[in-house]
Structure 1
Amino acid sequence: MTSAALGEGDGAQGKTHPLRTVLLDLGPLVVFFAVNALAPGDDVDQAVWATGAFMVAMTAAMIYTYWKDRKVTPMQLITLVLVGVFGGLTIYLHDEAFIQMKPTISYLLFAGILFGGLFTGRPLLKLVLAAGMPPLSDRGWRKMTLNWALFFTAMAVANELARAYLTFDQWVNFKVWGLTILGFVFALTQVPLLNRYARQKKTEER
């Protein structure tokens, strides 16, 4: 899942330009896709090269984000740590399975955070999005949190199915283009709910 799809982008110094947010999110994935396609060797060698390039691109994007916004979001930090751990295991053990598992762990982690917040009566979507959404009513936060928790769970299942049945090259295409597009499409389907509960919040405050 990308932070752009989730609506992140409010920096401490103002709002991040949406196009720059999208480019920073997609840039490392495009690097991963391109290096995997061009690197020499078998699937494992390509995965190692692509993973190394992806880790460098992610780090560069994070540094640039902090330089421009003077902050990074919790979601970005968690993603960077997971990329470092699973990417490092992929390179060290020469096993592409670890970088393929990274999206599943990310999605399940975010889903767990959101479900846990709902269970304790504290919808945590705003924490995950780092103030990237307008104020919503309490019902709106609960509804949006549940929707995103279910979506993250479905994405984890989709990634595991792809990992089990696709070749590594096919999985890379699915990850870079399929899951990314699904994230943006789902985010668009939430816009009407977002607008409705934002209006409801304004009405409650009057």
Structure 2
Amino acid sequence: MMKHYLHTSRKGESPPPSKTSNSGVTYVHWGKKRCPKDAEIVYRGQVGGNNYLTKGGGVNYLCLPNDPENGRHQSSSNDQVYGTEYRLGSSSKPFGWSESMHYKEVPCAVCYQKHRSTVLMIPGRKTCYKGWNSEYNGYLLSDHSTHFRRDYACVDRKAEPLDNKSVGEHGAYFYALRTKCGSLRCPPYTNEADVLCVVCSK
């Protein structure tokens, strides 16, 4: 009977990729027009999303570039993409934020961090765990509890408006989140507190 042997020679195989290759990670810097220190900017834009009253369509926020390549105009009842506005009432804004940003549109930047393999957003913390690098920290925001569901976004603690326009044109919204004790264990959490967040890379 003929025997078959597994060929184990490594001769001619390609060398393993260098750890100093051009690998890296990208992430969105929500609420800012630029990237954190040491990160390259891919593009700047404004935050877009579905209208807060729309049942269907996407639930995620988008970072729409400031230099779009627009498609052909079409009139239909399809889902539409709106801008996103801060909603910052005196009792609903994150601690330290100014009400002057109320109803103003939200900027964003897509950032590239070289020589990193993964990026992680951690809710409920403002610092990264050991071995991870902090890209930025801030507050966890989403839409209002009485509106249709939306993803969470970690918005920079020093968030800024897209510009000085403030007219409440309606679209997607950013509201601050609050903790609610019960099914959420307190401690370690506390009731009705801002939810902090941090974006970490490694």
Question: Which TM-score bucket, shorter chain as reference?
Answer: under 0.3
Structure 1 or 2: larger helix share? 1
Higher strand share: 2
Q: TM-score, normalised by structure 1?
A: 0.23
